[in-house]
Amino acid sequence: MPFINVIRGEAIPTAPFNVRTPVVRLPVWLVMFWSAVKGLAWMVIGYFRFWWITLPSSGLLWMYAAFDWQGPTFTVLGVAVAATIWNLGNRASFLRFGWYPILARFRRWTYRRHWQAAMVTAKLSVSYDGQTVLPVLQRVRCRPGTDLVLVRMVTGQIPDDFGHVSERLAHTFGVRQVKAMPGPTFSTVLLAVLRGDPLVKLVPPFPVTGVPDFMALPVARQEDGEVFDLRLFGTQVLVVGATGAGKGSVIWSIVRALAGGVGTGLVRLWGLDPKGGMELGIGLPLFDRFASKDFAAQADLLEAAAAETQRRAARLMGRTRQHVPSLGEPLIVLVIDELANLTAYLTDRHLKDRIKAALGIVLTQGRAVGVHVVACLQDPRKEVLPARGLFPTRIALRLSESNEVDLVLGDGMRDRGALCDRISETAPGVGYVALDGDPTPMRVRFSYLTDDEIRDMADIYGRVQVIDGDAA
Ligand SMILES: Nc1ncnc2c1ncn2[C@@H]1O[C@H](COP(=O)(O)OP(=O)(O)OP(=O)(O)O)[C@@H](O)[C@H]1O
Ligand SMILES: [Mg+2]
């Protein structure tokens, strides 16, 4: 039985209270007048809200009224010529201040059209008290191949909620990929919507600098078009990728960035190529020491590196935090192709223990004293490389399984956009890296050196070297 009965037609006598809503009779002209006022207000609001389309259109209309068809035609032509000259004269400023703001307006409008459907199907809308609350699309900015969409989250949401459904969002918006990262305020999330792919093309080798900048070695192209600089000082580098993923190109990109220093003696490369010298052998003259077929020789080389690390550490103890390479005490970079051959797949227990101990010393103490490791690996599982955590810098190329991504790059990185298992086999050298101070991974493609380019580089910068074991 209803407690209060609102009477719109007949009274229900069983309700204790009966309330009758007043019936107001309006004349037809008043209703029409009110509708007209409302319509006009909407038009004025719409005019100012979409000023970027309404203002130019009314300008053109006014031109037409004042000067006939010549008015709008010459205006459009004038703007097109000015834009072309600006574009040719200074493309960067044209894109930034001319083209991208217009594009962003247009894109914002397209996102708004799909917004509700996208939020509801991705389960990012929240139903509360019979009402549906949607995250708010706040701002859209365009960058080369990328839109940055700022979204105010519904209370209780976190950026990772968007990260989990990023793939769904990408398909809804019809784009290649969506990456979610924390926005400038705690209540916002920034969605990087990636459209085109600048990494389809091969990346040619970067020019060699006389003195390498060990804080920023140019080795790859980022998907936003910038150059990815690898920091070598203070770190150890692990490169993981399935077979054919392009680990070789990572090695040679790094070696090339160091080649100037190899030529002057500031950098010494020690090569370990357990696959019999197949990868590193082409650039043999670049290596100061080299071991490939003989595992005992490779263990010796690692022990020599460990001994040098400990000698330097003892000398520098208490004096400095970061070793500065010099001709007397150069930067030593151990380049290891397929580390698992030295750690997991080696059957000789004694050798395996020697290698493990020496590697442990270099990895834990080497980075402060100028002894660095750049190691490649196919399989990132713990059984294969227990010391994975000792490599602060990790590069993930194409991987065979999605759960390997977080093993290499760290927890949650796949959700944040590192789709290493989705990298095409036709795109070797493409991978994901973590940038300093950025929680989201960056997709990059490493430069590719042909065998001839490697040989040329070795001819120019190579030095007379000691060959350990039987490589020669
Ligand atoms: N950065 C790159 N750009 C374009 N092509 C590349 C790149 N890197 C590698 N490739 C091509 O992919 C092929 C395989 O690459 P690479 O030998 O480096 O793979 P890998 O990861 O070392 O594999 P494996 O573990 O089997 O040794 C190369 O022969 C080369 O043609
Ligand atoms: Mg290889």
Q: Give SS3 for 431.
A: strand
Q: Give CA–CA dist 404/431, Å, rounded.
A: 13
Q: How confident is the model at residue 8 (pLDDT cuts 50, 70, 90)?
A: low
CB 374 within 8 Å of CB 254: yes
- As given in the structure block, the two tokens for residue 218 are 């140019």
- Binding site, by residue number, is 241-248
What is the spatial distance between Cα 445 and Cα 427, in angstroms, rounded to a whole number? 9
Binding-site annotation: residue ranges for ATP: 241-248
Output the six-digit token pair for 47: 């005019």
Cα(190) to ligand 1 centroid in Å equals 34
Query: What is the architecture of the domain spanning 102-194?
Result: 2-Layer Sandwich (3.30)
Q: What does the pLDDT read at residue 470? A: 44
pLDDT tier at 464 (50, 70, 90 boundaries)?
low
Q: Do 5 and 12 contact (CB within 8 A), yes or no? A: yes
Q: How far is the CA of 86 from the centre of ligand 1 (A)?
A: 41
Q: pLDDT of 377-417, one tens digit each? A: 998 887 777 777 889 999 999 999 999 999 999 888 898 88
How large is the average pLDDT for residues 81-93? 92
β-bridge pairing 126-128 and 131-133:
antiparallel
451 pLDDT above the threshold of 80: yes
Res. 471: pLDDT tops 60: no
Q: Residues 98-113: pLDDT tens digits?
A: 999 999 999 999 999 9
Residues of the chain with CATH 3.40.50.300: 217-467
Q: Supply the angle between the helices 28-49 and 51-67 in degrees, to the nearest 10.
A: 100
CA of 241, closest atom in ligand 1:
21
pLDDT of residue 277: 80
The mean pLDDT value for 57-81 works out to: 93
Give 242-267 pLDDT, tens digit per residue. 999 999 999 999 999 999 999 999 99
Alpha carbon distance 213, 221 (integer Å): 17
End-to-end C-alpha distance for the chain, whole angstroms:
99
Q: How many helices (DSSP H) and strands (DSSP E) are in the chain?
A: 13, 19
For residue 48, give the H/E element and its range.
helix 28-49
d(Cα 394, Cα 373) in Å, to the nearest integer? Answer: 12
Where is average pLDDT lowest: 77-81, 163-167, 330-334, 343-347?
Answer: 343-347
| Dist. CA 125–CA 310, nearest whole Å | 57
Q: What is the arithmetic mean of pLDDT over 314-328?
A: 80
The closest-lying atom of ligand 1 relative to the alpha carbon of residue 429 is 1
Q: What is the pLDDT of residue 50?
A: 85
| Residues flanking ligand 1, CB < 6 Å | 202, 241, 243-249, 378, 428-429, 445-446, 448
pLDDT digits (tens, 9 = 90+) for 131-180: 889 999 999 999 878 899 999 999 999 999 999 999 899 999 999 889 89
Neighbours of 148 (CB within 10 A): 16
Q: How many angstroms separate the CA atoms of 371 and 367, rounded?
A: 6
Tell me: pLDDT of 462 over 70: yes
Distance in Å, CA 68 to ligand 2 centroid: 69
CATH for 217-467, options being 3.20.20.70, 3.40.50.300, 1.10.8.80, 3.30.499.10? 3.40.50.300
Residue recorded with tokens 């380019």? 453
Per-residue pLDDT tens for 9-31? 565 666 677 777 778 888 899 99
User: Start-end ranges of CATH 3.30.980.40 in the chain?
Assistant: 102-194
Cα dihedral 369, 375, 381, 382 sign: negative
Residue 88 reports pLDDT greater than 90? yes
Q: For position 465, what pLDDT does the model report?
A: 53
